[in-house]
Structures are given as structure tokens and as C-alpha cells.
Amino acid sequence: MADNTQELIYAAVRAAEDKKARDLVVLDLTDISPVCDYFLICSGNSSTQVQAIAENIKDKLREKGVDFLRIEGMKDAHWILMDYGTFVVHIFQEEDRDFYNLEHLWADAKVVDF
């Protein structure tokens, strides 16, 4: 993992944890996806919590001088996707995470310890 990417993902993990995100997983996609290198996947209990997690990640990464390229899902907050180029943050409400099951879809990815 590139040092800057690692630092940013760890900052995003800490920001998600600050808002009590659950079941955080970082997947290494470097060998299997041309789109991005890593996914950070986490869950919240409600749309309010999912939005709060996304806002905190956005704020903490902005403090490091990094802004997302694209964000989707803030209005409904069932699944918020934040594209940071080398990594993508997926924040789900728990039932939506179970339904989409990204960990299963990307089962060939390595899980990163953080």
C-alpha cells in the first residue's frame, strides 16, 4: 500500500470509528481491479449514522488536503459511496450491506489488517 494511500485509509477508518461505524473492512483490490486499489466498507444503524460517518470521513480527509472525486447516496443514506481515486469508501445501513454483500462479490481481494 502506498504510504499516502495507507495514511488516508487509516484516517478514514479512524473517522468512521469516531462515529461508531460497525464491521469495518479494508479490501486490497490492487491485483484484481483497474478501478481502484482499496475498498473501505463499514456499516451504520440508520441513515443519520451513515450520513454522520460519511461527513466525518469527508472532514478528516479534507484536513489532510484530500477531497473526494465523487460521492453518491448522501440523500437516502442507505449506501454512500465516496470515491477518493485510489480507494473507495462504502458506508451501508446494515440491511443494505447484507443485501449487496460486497465482501462476497470481491472475495478474491485480500483483507488488510489495520
Count of residues making up the chain = 114
In the 8-state DSSP scheme, what is residue 91?
Answer: E
pTM: 0.94
Confidence of residue 1 (pLDDT cuts 50, 70, 90): very low
pLDDT, one tens digit per residue, over 93-104 is 999 999 999 999
The CATH superfamily assigned to 3-112 is: Beta Polymerase, domain 2 (3.30.460.10)
User: Measured at the alpha carbon of residue 30, what is the angle toward residues 26 and 74, in degrees to the nearest 5?
Assistant: 50
Give the H/E segment covering residue 60. Answer: helix 47-63
Confidence of residue 114 (pLDDT cuts 50, 70, 90): confident
Whether 2 shows a pLDDT value over 60: the answer reads no
